[in-house]
A and B are shown apart, each in its own frame.
Chain A
Amino acid sequence: MAEIDPGFRRTRRESLFLIVPWLVCCLWSVTYCYLFGYRDHARKPGDVSSLLPDLSGYDPFGAPLLDPLGWGMPTWIFWGVFVPWMVSIVFSIVYALFVMNDAGDDDAPAGEES
């Protein structure tokens, strides 16, 4: 096996690490939304699919309907998608500025193929 560039190893490590935040977002959003948006509401018995239990005692106009900030989002959307979306923006900025670096660039000048 030929000699491996340390810059490549670092690039590989920091790039493949991105699978982790993707997986966290996927698991959080889909699981939270399924538990609190697909199952936990006042659907009439058997309305949509057999996946959904009878929760006819649930109060659709009670406090949990909308998000705590008063932006009009259902709570399951607020915690399941909106909040992770905001966290992802912060994470992306931190990752791009402080985690990802320029190791591995061959110091080629701009427009090198001219």
Chain B
Amino acid sequence: MMDTPRGIGAGLAFLAYMASVAGLAWWSGRYLSKPRSFVNEYFLGSRNMSSWALALSFAATCISGGTFAGFPALIYTHGWVMFLWIGSYMVFPLVAMGLMGKRLNQLSHRTGAITIPDILRDRFDSSGISLFASLAIIFFLTVNLVAQFKSGAIILDVLLRDTPGYQNAILPAFGKILDQLPFLGLTGSSDRTGYILSLFIFAFTVVVYTMYGGFRAVVWTDVLQGIVMLVGVLILLPTVLIKAGGMPAVSEKLARESPRATIGTTQWDQAIRYTANATSAGPVWVEHQLVGPNRPAIAIEIVPHPQQGQLLRVELRADRENRPMASAREVVEAIQQHPEAQTLLQASLMKNIGEGKPAITSAPVRLVDGLDQLYGPSITSSGQAFHPLGLAISFFIFWSFSGAGHPGFLVRLLAFRNSRDIRYSIITVTIYFALIYIPLVFIFLAARTLIDPGELPSGADSIMPTVATRLVHPLLAGILIAAPYSAVMSTVSSFLLVISSSLVRDLYQRPLGRSADERMVTLLSYLGTGLVGLVVTWMALDPPPFLQDVVVFASSGISATFLAVTLLGIYWPAMTKAGAWASMFSGFAIVVGAHFPILAKRWGWPGAGAPLIPLGLDPFVWACAVSLMLGLLVSRWTRPGSPAVTALFFGPPAAPPSTSSHREER
């Protein structure tokens, strides 16, 4: 919990940040009134923005809320193996920007295309492919945005929670307003008032500045957000390392840590620390189970674990509300008095947690050795390998190529002035990512030795705000907590614009050609952005619980759909329309099909749950391989496209000034 100076610091930092965002949006919006093509300015900033701004914008869009929430939590939990997990970012800028960036940029100048479906439509002379591409973008990015909106709302709620007046005055007043608007269906949501208010604030600000300022506003706010993220990380690195006594001391300390586990790390679960004795042979597991009313309040038994080692089972008698009748302290005392348990492990109550009811574990939890934080593949609390060889290979492919095939990132490449700007941007983004990701690994490994898991209010996911509020000056804490908020905002604004460009450009303007009314295009651009924002906000009021799965599904789905077709389409003159259909559809179908068990689990199908990973490789890898192969094979067997298209895409430039915008005017 932050004290008042920290709360004021966070509040001031947030206000300053929002004022800067509003100022940049207002300044960018003025460009839209200048006499130039509206869609080019609104969706690509008229292709005259500076390379360093676009480079930072590209980097900020790639960094989502997960970089500052989920990624630190994984480092904190699994240790050094996370350096390998994120290792593909060493070549991410080269692959994501270099593989197709220069070529796409040249083609967009040549054809006048402003979206990826635009390029595919011209390349394959097919409005059907463009329509499918647009619908795939709208589907996957909308799904992704729901997760991003939820992340933004949660971060903002944490940020504002300790601002004076927020909990005592603002939230109750907002709750009363919700109760008076029954048509919203949010009455009686008192436990979620903070989330709902934060969601509305987040949605309103990001939708309004994106809608008002278009691409130029998104880029300049991305620059601001990219700087906030970098400053936050670079402040945190020396601060945390000095407090931890340096990195060598951190690694030594982690290596010498006895096998241990903390059960219960939220405000409702009271944390108990279990530490295995050095003499324990093999892994030690712990399980808390509820039992019926005729059993003792606490019973302890030790049995062989089905996989390996010993299992300490703590049975707790349940009350009428199906909660344990004993307290966490009583559980600890019972274990301390149990002779056989004492030979196996030690139990203690975590400080700052209180003495409420002990947590109930749905499956046995494994006590994890300190060395598991230094070596791969690390293990999960359920005893499974966290990052086995198959996933290590998959992630190296996934990070690089999901970026290379993602229309949300590719569209950035269309906005560069020329190849020279792309070259300098590759350098900028390469250095930027190294300055963000490598320090993050150091920071949150060191945090492991400074903050115990039992002290985290909401488990490992709250390690970032906990580090920010406990280890740095109150004013800097505000900047550090604004960093993940910036990351979410930059991703959301970019994706919003990509969706609305698909709606306006690919579903309205291009099909109508010359008859498309410029004023209607302008109106639809504003309305499209606002409408998408409204729909996503509505969906985020009741988001799905498995957000990480949703983000992985949406990112791998959209990249698998577009990677092979775009790559082959721009580099291989013999690629045909039928090959493009086979490539896109197979990439789409494999990812959707492989993730179907997650949906099935929600519907209660027995045995469903995790996505399918044949031979231990992620569905994205299979989807890309099949999509590439089908694109090649089907193109070999079918008739090539018209010579005019081949000349436009692969021939020498004819008369640049006249060809550059001929598609624009169709």
What residues make up the interface of A, taking CB atoms closer than 8 Å to B?
1-8, 11-12, 15-16, 18-19, 21-22, 25-26, 29-30, 33-34, 37-38, 41-44, 46-49, 51, 60-61, 65-66, 70-74, 76-77, 80-82, 84-85, 88-89, 91-93, 95-97, 100-102, 104-108, 110-114
Contacts and interface: CB of A to CB of B under 8 A. Distances in A.
B11 interface: no
Interface in B235-279: 246-252, 255-256
Nearest to B101: A15
Contact of A105 (B36, B106, B431): B106
Interface in B401-434: 417-420, 423-424, 426-427, 430-431, 434
Interface string B363-396: 0000001011011110100000100110011001
B419 A89 contact: no
Given A51-B388, A114-B37, A60 B282 contact: no
Interface of B: 35-37, 40, 46-48, 80-81, 83-84, 87-88, 90-91, 93-95, 98-100, 102-103, 106, 109-110, 112, 246-252, 255-256, 282-283, 308, 369, 371-372, 374-377, 379, 385, 388-389, 392-393, 396-397, 400, 417-420, 423-424, 426-427, 430-431, 434, 438, 571, 573, 643, 646-647, 650-653, 656-657, 659-661, 664
A29 B87 contact: yes
B427 A96 contact: yes
Contacts of B256: 61
A71 B102 contact: no
A114 B45 CA distance: 10
Contacts of B251: 65-66, 72-74
A51 B651 CA distance: 53
Contacts of B643: 2
B109 A111 contact: no
A100 B106 CA distance: 14
8 nearest interchain CB pairs? A72-B247, A111-B48, A114-B36, A72-B248, A85-B90, A88-B90, A96-B423, A106-B656
Contacts of A49: 377, 385, 388
Nearest to B248: A72
29 contacts: A4-B573, A5-B650, A11-B102, A11-B103, A12-B571, A15-B98, A15-B100, A16-B99, A16-B571, A21-B91, A29-B396, A33-B84, A37-B375, A42-B371, A46-B282, A48-B372, A60-B255, A70-B248, A71-B247, A77-B83, A81-B83, A96-B424, A100-B419, A104-B419, A110-B48, A112-B660, A112-B661, A113-B660, A114-B46
Given A26-B396, A65-B251, A106-B653, A95 B661 contact: no
A34 to B, nearest CB: 6
A48 B371 contact: no
Given A37-B81, A71-B248, A73-B247, A2 B376 contact: no
Contacts of A89: 90, 430-431, 434
B100 A74 contact: no
B90 A41 contact: no
Nearest to B36: A114
Given A15-B98, A72-B246, A92 B646 contact: no
B84 A81 contact: yes
Contacts, number: 240
Given A2-B650, A72-B246, A85-B90, A112 B95 contact: no
Contacts of A6: 652
A101 B656 CA distance: 19
A92 B430 contact: yes
A10 to B, nearest CB: 10
Given A26-B393, A77-B84, A111-B46, A93 B91 contact: no
B371 A100 contact: no
Contact of A37 (B35, B84, B653, B659): B84
A7 B105 CA distance: 14
Contact of B283 (A47, A111, A114): A47
Given A2-B643, A37-B84, A92-B430, A18 B375 contact: no
B419 A15 contact: no
Nearest to B282: A44
Given A29-B87, A110-B417, A22 B385 contact: no
A33 B90 CA distance: 15
Contacts of A19: 99
Contacts of A48: 372, 377, 379, 385
B434 A85 contact: yes
A41 B661 contact: no
Contacts of B573: 1, 4
B439 to A, nearest CB: 12
A74 B256 CA distance: 14
Given A4-B651, A21-B91, A108 B375 contact: no
B389 A26 contact: no
B106 A104 contact: yes
Contacts of B372: 48
Contacts of A84: 87, 90
A76 B661 CA distance: 53
A106 B656 CA distance: 6
A70 B256 CA distance: 18
A18 B653 CA distance: 25
A65 B250 CA distance: 12
Contact of B98 (A18, A73, A76, A85): A18
A37 B653 CA distance: 52
Nearest to A34: B389
Contacts of A5: 650-653
